[in-house]
Amino acid sequence: MKQCSFAVWVGLSALFVTNFSISAEPKDTIGKPASRPIRDAPFFAKQAKEDAENWRMYLKKFCREPDLESLKSEKGLEVYRFIYQPCFHQHLCLTAKVVEKKVVLEIRRFSEKGKLELSGSLEFDDQAVEGFRREFGRPEICDPLRGLTDSQRDNLPMVLDGATWHLETLRDGKYTHAALYSPDAFESLTKEERTEFKRERGFDVPDLREFVFSCLEFVSHSGLPLDAVYYEPMPRARK
């Protein structure tokens, strides 16, 4: 039997939402009132290859989120997390935890200075569990630049005022973290720009459509755009 696409099971699983809650008062991940906004939060590295220490600081100080890599030894922990980290404007953190055969999706949006503007949660039944495992276990999703060398990864072009897309998975003690700077921008390159890209860098433009599609479908669960004012790429049909 042919497996349904991620988009299809998302639509189906929406019919089986078991609980929805939205917090009027911003809360952190353990239910305490959120700490004061970080007025002087730095804009961390704009390139996709984040410095590990800056990444941990960003998670702790800005997102008030745990470092998933440090939790690899916790038995039975299964988490999928998408973080949208723009140079400016709103940040979005979506954490999907598998708990007792259901998915609990925690939704948190921050201002560019770290103020928690919105938090809430959704619960999906066991169909969503299999959907997350199937979609985010694929190599082209959890390691979209696997065909490039470290040198080639560092030589990817930058986009003015873009955003880093972080996709993390933690399952069976295995952790993955894909961090790409404005991967959606690669789709709009013309044939001439792709030819120039290869001439200058010596390799083809990476195909990130699957990664972008899956991340945007992840975001669509929350019902929120990535940025309601300035930056809002829309989900596209898988090509």
In a domain, 229, yes or no: no
Q: What pLDDT, in 10s, does the model give residues 64-116?
A: 888 898 899 988 999 999 999 888 788 889 999 999 889 999 999 888 888 88
Show Cβ contacts of residue 28 under 8 Å, excluding neighbours closer than 6 positions. 34, 35, 64, 116
Q: How many CB atoms lie within 10 A of CB 48?
A: 19
Domain residue limits at 176: 6-27+41-222
In a domain, 95, yes or no: yes
Examine the pLDDT at 134 and tell me if it is beyond 70. yes
Nearest partner of 170 among 38, 31, 74, judged by Cα: 74
Q: How many CB atoms lie within 10 A of CB 27?
A: 18
pLDDT at position 160: 66
In a domain, 1, yes or no: no
CA 57-173-148 angle, to 5 degrees, is: 70
In a domain, 15, yes or no: yes
In a domain, 33, yes or no: no
Q: What pLDDT, in 10s, does the model give residues 169-216?
A: 999 999 999 988 888 888 888 899 999 989 999 999 999 999 999 999
In a domain, 35, yes or no: no
In a domain, 36, yes or no: no
pLDDT at position 126: 86
Domains identified in the chain, total number: 1
DSSP structure string for 180-220 = EESGGGGGG--HHHHHHHHHHHSSPPP--HHHHHHHHHHHH
Question: 38 with 114: CB under 8 angstroms?
Answer: yes
